[in-house]
Structures are given as C-alpha cells and as structure tokens.
Chains A and B, each alone.
Chain A
Amino acid sequence: MSKVHISTTVNGEAVEFLADTRDSLLDSLRDSLGLTGTKEGCGTGDCGACSVVVDGTLVCSCLMLGVEAQGKQIETIEGMANGDALHPLQRKFIEHAALQCGFCTPGILVASKALLEKNPDPSEEEVRYWLAGNLCRCTGYDKIIRAVMDAAEEMRGAA
C-alpha cells in the first residue's frame, strides 16, 4: 500500500509528509513531522492530550486521519510561543505551578488558548466544562484553572 503525499500548513509553515492512510493526524504530527509536543494519552478521544487546532477548531488529533490534514491550517503546542515570547497562558502555567509531570500540559494549553480566543472572559465553571476533555491526573485541576483565569485577565487587560 503506497503512502499519500500530504501538503498542509503547521504553525504557519508549509510542510509536506507521506501518510499511511491508517495514520491518525497525531501519528503524522509526531512521527512524520517530528512534532512530539502533542501527546497520545489514550487514542480514543477521552484524554485531550493530543489536542490541536485545525482550521480554527479545537480537535483531538487522534480522531483525525493524517490524510485529512491536506490543505488545512494546523496549530500545535510548538507554535504557541512567538519565538522567545511565551503566550500568557504558558507564562501563567509556570507561575501558578499548573503542571506537575507536564504530560497533559500541551493539550491543556492548546485547548485553553482556543477557549480564550472564543470567550475572553470565561467563568470558572465555563473553563472547567471547556477543559472537561483534558484529563490531568497530577494536579487535581485547581492550579490549571487559576492559571487560565489569570491569563484571561491579563489578556483582557492588554487588549
């Protein structure tokens, strides 16, 4: 079975790769493009560690095929910072100790960024429900929620 040649845009850069039709987008990002920041925690869309944004929509990359990346705009954790300038969410996560092992962190950062772009002033409950699909086993979510709300406040102030 020959592979499919895919042209897509990842974090603003045009890239190409070969996809086995059975590869998930997560497989393609990690193994074909070497972007290992996006993680596999479950492979069933239950943990959110594989979260990426495709054409502006937050999705689980384990639930898309690699071949579906054709012509899309994909944003991963690797594109969240702007050179040395961390996104406010990234800074706040460090400041609030909102990560312990850090494995869920890329997925949660990508998901939180998508939330704040849609709703810059979420309540605590709204943040929790938006992030319900991002499992964290280390933190109990407390400091994550605080970091997201604090980042949102900073971003509103800067806006």
Chain B
Amino acid sequence: MAKDTNTSDFRYIGTRPARPDGLDKVTGRARYGADIAAANMLHAAVVRSPHAHARIVKIDTSKAEALDGVKAIVTRADFPTGLTGEDWDLQENTMAGERALYDGHAVAAIAATSPHIARDAVKLIEVEYEILPHVIDVDDAMAEGAPVIREGAANKTVPEGMHPNVVKYIEFGHGDVEDGFAKADLVMERHYKTEATHQGYIEPHACMGQLGADGKGEMWVCTQGHWYIRRMCAAVLGLDTAQLRVTASEIGGGFGGKTTIFMEPLALALSRKSGGRPVKLVMSRSEVLRATGPTASASMDVKIGMTKDGMLTAGVANFRMQGGAFPGSPVDMALYCAFAPYQVPALQHIGYDVLANRPKCAAYRAPGSPMGAFAVESLIDEMATELGLDPMEVRIKNSSKSGDKSSYGPKFGVIGLEETLAATKAHPNMSIPLGPNQGRGIAAGYWFNHGGETSVSVALSEDGTVQVSVGTPDIGGSRASMALMAAETLGIPYENVRVNIAETGSLGVNEPTHGSRATFASGKAMHGALTQAINEMCRRAAGKWKIDPEAVEWRDGAAVPAGPNAGQFPPMTIQEIARKMKNTGGPISGHHESVPDGVGDSFGAHVVDVEVDPETGHTKILRYLVVQDAGRAIHPSYVEGQYQGGAVQGIGWALNEEYVYDNMGRLQNPIFLDYRVPVASDLPMIDTVIVEVPNPGHPFGVRGVGETGITPPLPAIANAVAAATGVRIRHLPITPTKLLAAIKAK
C-alpha cells in the first residue's frame, strides 16, 4: 500500500529543487495569454462607455462596418436572452444591455484584420448616451436619494426599507454584547475606510477564441480557472458546456482577478460572427484597471470592549462594502475573518453588500479579510496603547486555539495561531532599537482557505516516468509542489515526474487556482490518484509473484512483499512494471475526483518598522517580517514567495494604492503611473518565518498559504505609523497628503 505519510521524515518534501517550468520562464519560451497566433486570425477591440451611468440610446456601427479590414461587430443584441441570477450578472457585465453601469463598461466589440484597424474602428462606432446620475461611494450609495443601479436586485436577506442598492444583508454573532461592553474597562468605537484596489497582475487579460456555427469552440486564455471560464462563456453565449474546450496558457499573475470572465465571451461571439475565424483579444492596462475586477471599497464601524488586562469582552462590527454594479462584494468573508484570530465572549457582525457605478469586483487575495483586519487590528492596537499594554501580549492572551469555536461559527480544527504568535514574539526583529520618527506595528491575519471541486489524473509512461494532470493553473510554482509530493508518494526522483496543466477536455471539473487551494486540493486529489495507481502497480506485481495483492506494498519506487510471510521477491521497480504493463493488463493510471474536506486555516502575524518624514508625511518601510503557518512547506522557497508577495501587495494597499474617481464617476488613474504599486526601490528585504503546524486533513499536512499574507500589512503599517507619529490614520491608503495633514493637526 502507499507510504505512510503522517511523518515528517521526508526525502523530497521540504527541499528546494528547480521548478519544472523554470527553463521556459527564464528564456522567454513560456507562452502566456497573448503569446499565441493562428492562421486567419482577427484582432479584437472593445468600445467602452466613458460614462459612469448612462442609458444606451443608440449604437450606430455603420461607419465602423465600412472600414476596410473590419470583419465582425457585436453588441448585446448578439447575445442570448433569458439568463437569470449570476449568469445574467456575468452577461450584463460582459456587454452592457440597456445601460452602461460604470466607466469602462463594454458596449460593443469589433474584430478586424489588424489591431490598428480594430482600434480605429472603435472610434468610428457612434454611441448615443443619456447620462444618468451616478454614485461611487458605498455610504452614499446606501443613502436616501442615491441613484438606483438596479431595481429588484436585493435578495431576501435585505430588511424592508433599505435602499435598492443594498443587495445583501448579513447578521450573525453570539453572546450578549451589551453585557460584554459593561464588563470592559475600556470601550472604543471607531470608523474605518478602505478604497478599492486592483490585484495589479502585470499580464493584462488576453485570450484567443474560436467558435464555429456548429457550436463547437476553442479558447486559449490566461486564467486561474479554465473550467470556470468554460462554464461562464457557455452560459453567457448559450453554448453547450462540453462543446467549448478551454486551454489555460501560462498566467502572468491573477491573485483572484482572473478567476472569472470579463471579455472572453466577446472573442467567441466575434469569432462566430466572422464565420469562425480565431479572434485574439488582449486588454490594455487601462482596460484592465477600468473594466476587470478590483476589490471592494469598505466603510466599517467597529466597537470593542477590553479589560485593563487586555482581555477582549465584546465586539461589534458593521461593514458596508460596494462591489461595483453587481452583487458580490466580500462583506461576508470580511466579517467571518474580522475577529477569527480571537476568542471574544460576545460578538455581533452586521454587513451590507451595496451596488455602485463601478466595475464588477472580483476576488483579491483573501477577499474581504484585509479590510476587516485593518479595522479590528487597528482598534485593538489603539486600545492596547491606551491601556499601556503590549500589543503582542494582547494578541497572545486572546488568541484562538485548536478546537476553539471560531468567531464565525464552526469549530477550528488544528490551527497554528499560538505557534505563529510565539514565533513572532521571539523574533529578533521585535527587539531592534528604533530611532527618531520610527515606529513598529504588529498585526495578525487569517484566511480559511478552500477545498473545492478537484479532478486529477496520473499515468505511468512506458519508461516508468510519471505524468500528473491537474486542473489548477500554475501561478506561482505549484508544478514544483505537485512534483515534490508525487515524488514523495511514489518514492521516485522529482525529475521523473512531469506535471501538466490539462485543458478542460482532459479532466473533470476543477475549481480555479484560488482560495489557496492548489497545493492542498490538487495535491490531496493527486495523492488519491497516485494511491489508485500504486494499488494497481502492486496488483501487477502480486500477479507476477502469484501472491495476494494485499500482501504487496509500495516502497521507494517499487512494489515489495509486505512482510517476510508474503514471500521472498526482489522489489519490482516502477520501471519494470511500466515496461511490462501492456502485457500485464494494460495502461496504468489513476484518477481522483472530490470536493476535499480537511482544509487547513492559515494564520499569520506581521511586524513592520516604518520611518515617517514629519515634514512631508512620507512613509518608508525599514523592516518587514512575515510569520505564517504553512502546515507543511512542500517547497519552502515558493511558500516564502507567497508570504513576501502578499506582504508587498498589502504594503501598496496600505500606503499608495486606491481607485480615484472624478466627479463624473470616471476613473482617474487607470495606468500604472498613477495606480501606484510598490517598486523595488520602495522596499527592504521581506523576512519570513515558516511555522509548520501540520494540517491533519492533508496527506502531507499542507495548509494553503497564498492569501493570508495580504491581511496583516494594512493594520500593521497603520499601527507602525501611529507608533512613529502618534497619529492614527483610519482611511487607507496612508498617503503623504493625509498623513501630513494629520500630523499638522495634532
């Protein structure tokens, strides 16, 4: 049988080999979304609304049609009708119907023989708009008199009397908060705001789609989840799902923003209309920022009660989030995560999902959790400071432990927050002396991680090497982790495993590489698939040896008798079994489909030292430490990479990144010049500590690690700035403008 994996005595896991796709990626050979061309290919461009909210009165495509080289034009009229629910939302976002709902909303699309002609044709399409009042801010969008984005979009959770822009309401909690506040020595209530940010992946969305009159289609697309793309395109276009085959290219970053469709159906629709020619559609950077899926902006009120010894007695969180012109802001997840690191006797959570004239939000790395952490961790820090308590001790005192009931209901399994906080407290960074205008901030953070639909298959090649087919695109090195786990399970060299990201025609449904699930879920399913293959290989050996298959086990890449009673046979290597497999029963493979349980939560704690220039409000990051529980780091370098990447996105979100709108509701900073992501010279090295409290739900103890890391930076930096200046900024980003004004006002 398969090797017992409840051990930490690993041969491959925990090592740092070269990733299998490394050579392709350092030579420029790897092919991303836009790195494709086909015979007879057309190039697409999209006409987008310049208005935040407008009725589309008329679209005149005649001048564009007359331009030499234009081969197809589509509008909403070319899409099927009758969709409902989320499918309708996707279709409406892909191509505007009666109204343009945000600056950048697609209203028409063109396919032409060159990108220049397509872009020229965009200018020739005449759209008559009737401009409508718009609303941008989440609190404004809930207020009486706010322009209505869509009537009847609220679901049944929303109480009577709320503005139609409130589409979802959530309320949950436990205990008696009034009693809890009465027991506190200090009760504080504060208001916090965060602005919309974008995942900021460097690769713009790109695809090539081909759809024939027979309803059969092919798509090449950079995506985190090609089954989602397939299902969504099929729904939006009225296709049979299995007739559309989607291949995932290499992906230049996603962070949640590429788990859904934005313009992909347009390529297919244009292809169909052009007689089935392949159509390549690549977004420009400004289209990406205007018309893909930034995260929500949030307006939050938090009230906490704390005893003078630092015990939390009660908490109330009221979060309002806008996710653009469609339901789906992550307000629920923000509330679930907000107090998760702590055991609080009484909690009340209230949340509102609100519509606004902004693009349809998509997931961004632990969606909602950073916003909630910003509010709760800032307030806990402020209260600790007020009471003269050590902020780290306050975290430790209240921290959730394995088996505790979580703030959002379910009991935690085995979790590693205690160990993470202890490792943070003990780290040398905590005792580095600080100079003038410098301050240190800490914060904890949490993400549940996710299982989700998973289908994996494995197969033995004729020479004993092994191929693994997974459906989770490799965003950050997961092929290496898969190959390490496969090598460990099979007892064969890492180099003898090839991991392929299969297209939708080759596997059952797979959820995207999101929810920090690839190493966990694809890894767990791969383990199941390998176990099936190992069982078959043992059966082949048993057949040769004429013993019971139960008497054969697998060790170090070979079938061996299970014990001295089974018989004296030399190990039958995987190579030998492979060489003979066509004569012993045929091809050997394994497959595994599941929605795996046993997901492991990941807690993290960050420590950041900043220096603030008191004359300009400029914040410099001096030192940054990420401590996080990975369960088991399959390839430690890529775990460290997730920690560092999440931290730096959080640094950008805390200090500089935000969507800026003018008074007409148009996005003012749709390019990287003024949408300011951190550059190399802004940052120090990012120190990391991998804590390993294995997750019993995974054969190797894996917890997802990708998302938690973006959660603590927002409050940690706000806390560090407060320590450095005495000033609390409760509205992100902490720009020099805001900070200087606050310093002067002190």
Contacts and interface: CB of A to CB of B under 8 A. Distances in A.
A–B contact at 8 Å CB threshold (below): yes
B641 A101 contact: no
A128 B27 contact: no
Nearest to B36: A36
Contacts, number: 181
Interface string B105-125: 000000000111000000000
A97 B683 contact: no
Contacts of A104: 202, 252
Nearest to A49: B202
Given A20-B116, A142-B685, A145-B680, A44 B476 contact: no
Interface string A92-103: 011111011111
Contacts of B671: 42, 44, 46
B27 A102 contact: no
A86 B26 contact: yes
Contacts of B21: 102
B116 A22 contact: yes
A145 B47 CA distance: 41
Given A44-B673, A143-B644, A78 B680 contact: no
Main secondary structure of the interface of B (DSSP, over half): loop
B711 to A, nearest CB: 15
Interface residues of A, number: 62
B28 A135 contact: no
Interface in B645-675: 645, 647-649, 671-673
A143 B26 contact: no
Interface residues of B, number: 59
B637 A143 contact: yes
Contacts of A134: 680
Given A47-B672, A128-B680, A103 B26 contact: no
**Quick one: which of B26, B251, B641, B645 has the most chain A CB within 10 A?**
B26
Nearest to A107: B202
B252 A42 contact: no
Contacts of B250: 101-103
A110 B399 CA distance: 47
Interface in A13-49: 20, 22-23, 27, 30-31, 34-44, 46-47, 49
Contacts of A35: 28
Interface in A123-150: 124-125, 127-129, 131-146
Interface string B9-44: 000000010110111011111111011010000000
A105 interface: yes
A135 B57 CA distance: 41
Contact of A136 (B16, B202, B637, B673): B202
Given A31-B37, A104-B202, A138-B476, A144 B253 contact: no
Contact of B644 (A93, A133, A139): A139
Given A39-B203, A103-B253, A141 B28 contact: no
Contacts of B7: none
**Quick one: which of B29, B679, B686 has the most chain A CB within 10 A?**
B679
A74 interface: no
B644 A140 contact: yes
B28 A38 contact: yes
B611 to A, nearest CB: 15
B476 A93 contact: no
B285 interface: yes
A39 B251 CA distance: 12
Given A100-B641, A139-B644, A80 B27 contact: yes
Contact of A42 (B114, B116, B672): B672
26 contacts: A20-B114, A27-B115, A30-B35, A36-B31, A37-B27, A39-B32, A44-B673, A77-B27, A86-B23, A90-B27, A94-B26, A97-B19, A97-B477, A100-B641, A101-B203, A101-B252, A103-B250, A104-B202, A128-B681, A135-B679, A137-B200, A137-B649, A138-B645, A140-B678, A141-B683, A146-B685
Interface of B: 16, 18-19, 21-23, 25-32, 34-35, 37, 114-116, 199-204, 250-255, 282, 284-285, 475-477, 635, 637-638, 640-641, 644-645, 647-649, 671-673, 677-681, 683, 685-686
